[in-house]
Amino acid sequence: MTATLAPEHTVTTTVPTPARPAVRPGAASPAALVAIEVRKSLSTRSGRALAAASALLAPTAALVVSAASDGTLGSVTGPIGVMGMLTGLVLLALGVLSTAGEWTHRTVQTTFLLTPRRGRVLAAKAVAVALLGAAFAAVSTALSVGVLALMEQGIVWDGAGQAVAAAVGAGTAFAVIGAGTGAALTNTPAALTGLYLVILGALPVVRTFEPEIGSKLDPAEAVLALAQGDAVARSVLVVAAWTVVALVAGAVVTRRRAVA
């Protein structure tokens, strides 16, 4: 370019034309798109706060509960499942922000201008939040396990491996469910409120009055069951169904919605 606007309101025009920057000729690779989406999620204060909360909230809760409780917990699988669920609920918000946040702040415009194949963008977001979800859930679970090991004498460690896997898997899946739902609703408050109302409000009510139906719908109950090694196939199916439905709904809206 040839013109420079100096900060002191002095306009200068430089004659030499700089060489064009090196520009990638083709589309960004899937790995590059995933890396961009990971950076996006962690480049805002809200994203970093959610990341920190997802890693630290559950171990902090474990610490407080262990310190305040006189009783013994019995098996470690239940507490790990609950802590994994708590972490998953935070990661749900991280996923929502990665997609609905772009619509809310209208940054989706530049995202789609530079990568107009919207399906590739959503796929990259899903992979990015899955990676972040798995990583933060792993950190959170490791810290929670550490707290339980230090604070809970005589706790039974049978099935701990499966419980840890369930907690990390829940973090991964919930982040993706958040991303899919955010993409489907394209509105951060609506997606967050809707998800939390359904998972924390509506489904517990259904579970109370229709336990059979509730257990087939509720991802929170599925995560707790998985952590304790109960109804494994059904629980995996429930979480997978939530993930697929959210992603498909997100893909349909992402593909069709005009960026006005």
Partner 1 sequence: MITVHGLTKQYGTRTVVDDVSFTLEPGTVTGFLGPNGAGKSTTMRMMTGLVPATSGTALVGGRPYVELPNPGAVVGTLLDASAVHPGRTGRAHLQLLAAAAGVPAARADEVLALVGLADAARRRVGGYSLGMRQRLGIAGALLADPPVLVFDEPANGLDPEGIRWMRDLLRGHAARGGTVLLSSHLLGEVEHTVDRLLVIGGGRIVADGSVVSLLGAEGTAVRATSPAAFAAALEAAGFAVQQGDDGALVVPGADPAAVGAVAAAGGHVLVDLRPVERALEDLFFSLTA
Minimum gap (Å) between residue 127 Cβ and partner 1: 16
Minimum gap (Å) between residue 33 Cβ and partner 1: 8
**CB closer to partner 1, 44 vs 69:** 44
Minimum gap (Å) between residue 120 Cβ and partner 1: 11
**CB closer to partner 1, 6 vs 67:** 6
Contact residues toward partner 1 (CB under 8 A) are 1-7, 9-11, 13, 17-18, 20-28, 32-33, 35-36, 39-40, 43-46, 101, 105-117, 256, 258-260
**CB closer to partner 1, 80 vs 251:** 251
Q: Look at the block and give the residue holding tokens 């109950």.
A: 221
- Distance (Å, rounded) from C-alpha 142 to C-alpha 80? 10
Minimum gap (Å) between residue 182 Cβ and partner 1: 15
Residues in CB range of 166: below 8 A, 6 or more apart: 80, 81, 84, 223, 226, 227
| Closest to 55 measured CA to CA, from 190, 171, 159 | 171
Minimum gap (Å) between residue 97 Cβ and partner 1: 10
Minimum gap (Å) between residue 224 Cβ and partner 1: 34
Q: Which residues pair with 11 in a beta bridge?
A: 5
**CB closer to partner 1, 146 vs 189:** 189
**CB closer to partner 1, 2 vs 153:** 2
**Beta-carbon count within 10 A of 186 CB:** 19
**CB closer to partner 1, 69 vs 109:** 109
CA distances from 234 to 46, 161, 173, 189, 218 (A): 34, 19, 15, 31, 11
Minimum gap (Å) between residue 109 Cβ and partner 1: 4
**CB closer to partner 1, 8 vs 212:** 8
